Amino acid sequence: MSNRNSRRSSRKNRSADMTAARMPKNPVQNGRAMSVSVTQQSSFSGPLPPPEVLGLYNEIIPNVAERLVASFEGQQSHRHQMESQVISAGIRRAWYGLWCGFVVALAGLGVAALAVVYQQQWAATVVGGGTLVGMVTVFVTGRHQQERERTSRRENLEKK
């Protein structure tokens, strides 16, 4: 604990020395008291701070930089795993939708064929035609929606 306190006090002394070095030699000029204020600001973006800041963290808490990097790597691994699960679920959902559509189409065409067997041409035409029009509509609107999503993603990427 005393080692940590000595580091803090030495850092404070360095800061005070730097501030004193920046102060003008004569704080009174033309009978007016002068005040000097120095502000330094830094920022970073991204998941990890720059190496200089990590080094300062290590001065305060030993090995904290390694723990921060390990935490970041764990978070990144988790994110990749979740993205893989989302993609896999999307693929499964797409296949499920295709199979359900196939079953509905077969059922509709089966009912139309049955109507033909019982010589109900109007019923066969309505059910069979409705089934085919419905299938074509679903596939065409699905393609248009996919194209709109791709265009939207492309535009968003170009904006960034």
User: How does the average pLDDT of the chain come out, rounded?
Assistant: 81
Residue 41 falls within a domain, yes or no?
no
Residue 146 falls within a domain, yes or no?
yes
Domain tally for the chain? 1
- Can you give the pTM of this predicted structure? 0.53
Phi/psi for 28 (5° steps) reads: -115, 125
What range does the domain containing 110 cover?
A: 2-14+48-159
Residue 79 falls within a domain, yes or no?
yes
- Per-residue pLDDT tens digits for 83-129: 999 999 999 998 998 899 899 999 999 999 999 999 999 999 999 99
Lowest pLDDT segment from 46-55, 66-75, 121-130: 46-55
Residue 21 falls within a domain, yes or no?
no
CA–CA distance from 157 to each of 151, 153, 154 (Å)?
10, 6, 5
> Does the structure show a pLDDT above 90 at 159?
no
Q: Using pLDDT thresholds of 50, 70 and 90, give the confidence band for residue 17.
A: very low
Distance between CA atoms of residues 115 and 125, nearest Å: 9
